[in-house]
Amino acid sequence: MLKQDFKALINDYSAQVLNTAVRILGDAHKAQDVHQEVFLEIWRRWNKYDGQTNWKAYLYRTTVRKAIHLAKKSRAERLFEQQPEYTSKEGPDGSLRAAELQQKLAGCLARLPKRQAEVFVLSRMEGLKAEQIAELLGCSRKTVRVHLHRAMKRLARELGDYLMK
Amino acid sequence: MGKHENINELLTAFALGELSQQQISEVKIHLAECPQCSNELRQLEALLECTRRIREFSTNAQICDSAKQAIFAAVEREKTKHTSGPNISPESIWRKIMKSPITKVAAAAVIVLAGFIVINQFGGSIDGTTKAFGQITENMKKMPWLHGVVDAAGERLEAWFSFERRVVASKRVPGEIRYNDGLKQTEQTYIPDANTITISYTTTDQLAEIGSSVLDLPKYILKLFDDTKEKIIQEAVKYKGKDAKIYKMAGVLGGMDMRVEMIVDADKNLLLFVNQKVFDKTGTLQMDANAYFDYPENGPNNIYEIGVPTSAKIVRPEKDKTAFGKAFEEAIEVVDKRENWPEPRNLAVAYWKARTAKNYDEMAIFWPGSATWNRQVIENEESIEYVFGEAQTAELEDDIIVPYATKSYYEKHGKYSLKMRLTNRKSTKGRYYIYSGN
C-alpha cells in the first residue's frame, strides 16, 4: 500500500474517530489520544490489510473499544483533569450536566459486556440505525435489538437516580 | 410471566418508540397503576435524553487538524525507529501541555519541579533545594498578578494570572486573545481574523485548573522520566542586576533528552526564567522554549487592555443565554421565597461559607446562575479564607458593593482588593443577591 492511502484514510476518518471518542469520553484530549492509538495501530499493521477492509466499520469498533478501555483506565488514574473541548448546542449548565453524565456513563459502559456497549454507543451516541449497526458488527438486526435493550435497561438502572436529578 | 413482567419487558421498546398502537395502549394502562414501571420508564427516557445531547457533541476543526498532525508526526517517528521509551509518547504529553495556554505556561516551571522530585526520590544530591523549589509555585500563586511570556515552537504566548481575582488572560501571537473571569464565570475569546469577541459562560475555573495542573503535572511527567541519572547544578548568578540562583537540570523524557535551566529570584524565591531544550536521539534540537515571568502589581481589567480593538463585534451565543437565564430565574424564585434572607454583607459572607463547604445549592441561590460553576474544580479547590468590609452603595446604579479580600492579602496590604456587587433588580421583594464577583 502506498503511504498516500494511509494519509487519505486519516483525512477521511479522523473526524469520525474523534467524534465517537469525545462522545464516549467527554474529553477532547483523551479523544486525541484514542485517535492516535487507533491510527498508529493501523499504521503498524498497514501491510497486513488486503484492500478489502470496511474502514468505517473497523474504525467504529476499534474507537469504541479503545475509548471504553481508556475510560476504565482514567477512572483509576485521574491525573490530568481537563474539561471537555467539544462544541455543544447546550448552554453552560446543560453542558456541565451532560459532561458529568458522560463521565458516569463512560464508567457504566466500561462495565457492560463488550458487544452491548458497542451497540449502545453506535445506536444512541452515534445515531446509527439497527440495520447499519448489524452490518457494521456483522450480526442480525435482532441481535442488535437484544443488545441495545439489555444495555439500556442496565444503564438506566445503574445510572438510576442520577439521571433523574 | 405475569402482566407486570410482560409490560416491563416492553419498556425499552416503548421508550424507543418501537411499539404498535395496541401495545402502547397496554403499556400506558399498566403505567398508570404501576409506580415501579413508571419510574423505570422515566429513567430510560432520561437516559435517552442524555445520549441525545451527547450525540450533538463534536470536536472542532482545530482539534481535528491537531490530531491529524500528531498522527503524521508519530508515523514519521515510527519510520525512523525512534519508538523506544514509555507507553505514552513524548508528543502525547507535549501536545497536552502545549495545547492549553494554561499548562503551556505552567509547564515551564512544572517540568523542572518534576526533575527535582526525581532527584529527591532517587537519592538527590542537593540538600534543601527540593523543599525550597516546592515553595516556588506557592509563592507565585500568592502574588497579585503573575505575568508570563513563553516563546516555544514558533509561537509566543503572553499570559496574565491573578489567583486572587481569579482571572486568566492570554494572548497568542499569532492567534486569539482570551480573558477568563473565574468569578463572573465568563470567557471572552477574540478572533483577530473575524474581529469578533465571543462571550461564553464558562464552566471551568481556569485558575483552579492551573492549581491542579501545577500539582498534578509533576506526577504525570514523573512517569515519563525513564532515566534516573539526571544531573543538577545550582549556581549563583545575576539576573537583570539582581541576585538570583540558576538551576541546570538534564534528564530523559520519553526517550528524548531534555535540558532545563531555571532562574529563581534569590530573595523572593520566585521563578523568573526557564529555558527548556529537547533533543531527539540523534542529538537534533526538537524544541527550544523560553519562559519569562514577572510579578506586576496590576494586570488587565478586561480584554481590551491586552490589545483587542474596541471595534470588535461581540458575539453572544443565544443558547447560552437561554440556559443561563433559566437557571437565573429559578434561583430568583428561591431568593424571594426564603425566610430570613441575609443582609448584603452577610450574604457575601454566606456565599463564601457555602463555597468553602462545597454547598452548591446554596451557592447557586446566593449567586443566581452560579449553578454553572464547575463542581469538579471546586471539589478539589483549597479553601481560601476571605475577610469582608462593610457594604456600601455602588457609584453607578442602585447596587450595593461588599468589599473583600483574601485574608493574606488584607493582612499584608491592610485593604480590600475585591468587590462583590449585589443587586435587587430581579427580586420582587427587593432582596439583594450577588451578580458579580469583582
- Condensed to tens digits (0 to 9), the pLDDT of residues B207-255 reads 555 544 444 444 444 444 434 445 567 788 999 888 998 877 776 665 6
Nearest CA to A126 out of A52, A48, A59, A54 is that of A59
Q: Predicted ipTM?
A: 0.84
**Which of B40, B63, B204 has its CB closest to that of A156?**
B40
User: Beta B271-279 vs B256-265: how paired, if at all?
Assistant: antiparallel
Angle at A36 between CA A34 and CA A42, to 5 degrees: 105
What's the CA gap between B244 and A29, in Å, rounded? 37
Of the partner residues A23, A84, A90, the one whose CB lies closest to the CB of residue B319: A90
Question: How large is the average pLDDT for residues A49-56?
Answer: 79
- Is residue B241 within 8 A of residue B107, CB to CB? The reply is no
For domain B61-306, give the fold.
outer membrane lipoprotein receptor (LolB), chain A (2.50.20)
| DSSP H or E stretch at residue B403 | strand B400-406
pLDDT of residue B125: 38
For an interface test with B, the pick among A27, A81, A131 (most B C-beta atoms closer than 10 Å) comes out as A81
Give me the DSSP letters along B318-329: HHHHHHHHHHHH
Percent of chain B with pLDDT over 70: 68
Q: What is the pLDDT of residues A30-45, one digit of tens each?
A: 888 899 999 988 888 8
Q: Give the model's pLDDT for residue A144.
A: 93
As a whole number, mean pLDDT of residues A129-141 equals: 89
- Residue-by-residue DSSP string for A64-77: HHHHHHHHHHHHHH
Amino acid code (one letter) for B130? T
Which residue did the predictor score with more confidence, B66 or A96?
B66
Query: What integer pLDDT is reported at residue B271 of this predicted model?
Result: 82
Q: Name the residue of chain A whose CA is nearest to B55's CA.
A: A125
The model's pLDDT over B321-351, given as tens digits with 9 standing for 90+, comes to 445 566 777 888 889 889 889 999 999 999 8
CB of A4 less than 8 A from some CB of B: no
On the question of pLDDT at B289 being above 90, the answer is no
Instruction: List chain A residues with CB under 8 Å of B68.
Output: 10-11, 14
Beta bridge partners of residue A2, listed in sequence order: none
How much of chain B, in percent, has pLDDT values that exceed 90? 11
pLDDT at residue A108 greater than cutoff 70? yes
How many Å apart are CA B234 and CA B232, to the nearest integer?
7
Residue A103 lies in domain: 3-164
Q: How far is A18 from chain B (nearest CA, A)?
A: 7
- Domain residue ranges in chain B: 3-55, 61-306, 317-436
The residue behind cell 469582608 is B388
CA distances, B394 to each of A154, B398, B402 (Å): 55, 7, 9
Asked if B321 and A92 come within 8 Å (Cβ–Cβ), the reply is no
Residue of chain A minimizing CA distance to B213 = A80
**A:76-135 residues touching chain B, CB 8 A cutoff:** 79-96, 98-102, 105, 124-127
Q: Encode pLDDT of B138-181 as tens digits.
A: 677 678 888 888 776 667 778 888 877 778 888 887 778 888 87
Residue B124 has pLDDT above 80, yes or no: no
CATH code, domain carrying A122: 1.10.10.10
pLDDT at residue A82, as a whole number: 30
B67·A126 Cβ contact <8 A? no
Interface residue A148 vs chain B (CB under 8 A): yes
User: Measured between CA atoms, how close is B40 to chain A, in angstroms?
Assistant: 8
Residue B59 is nearest to which of A28, A159, A160, comparing CB atoms?
Answer: A28
**Which residues in chain A have Cβ-Cβ distances shorter than 8 Å to B220?**
79-80
Cell of B261: 535551566
Q: B2-25 pLDDT, tens per residue? A: 678 888 888 999 998 888 899 999
pLDDT, position B402: 92
What confidence score (pLDDT) does residue B396 get?
A: 55
CB atoms within 10 A of CB B245: 18
Q: What pLDDT was estimated at residue B387?
A: 92
Nearest Cβ partner for B50 among A22, A153, A163: A163
Residue A123 predicted with pLDDT over 90: yes
**Closest C-alpha among B168, B170, B172, B195 to residue B184:** B168
Other beta carbons within 10 Å of B80: 10
Convert the pLDDT of each residue in B378-420 to its tens digit. 666 677 788 999 999 876 567 889 998 888 888 888 888 788 8
B219 vs A28, A79, A102: nearest CB: A79
When mean pLDDT is compared over A88-102, A121-135, B76-90, the highest value belongs to A121-135
Q: Total domain count for chain A?
A: 1
Q: Domain B317-436 classified CATH 3.30.70?
A: no
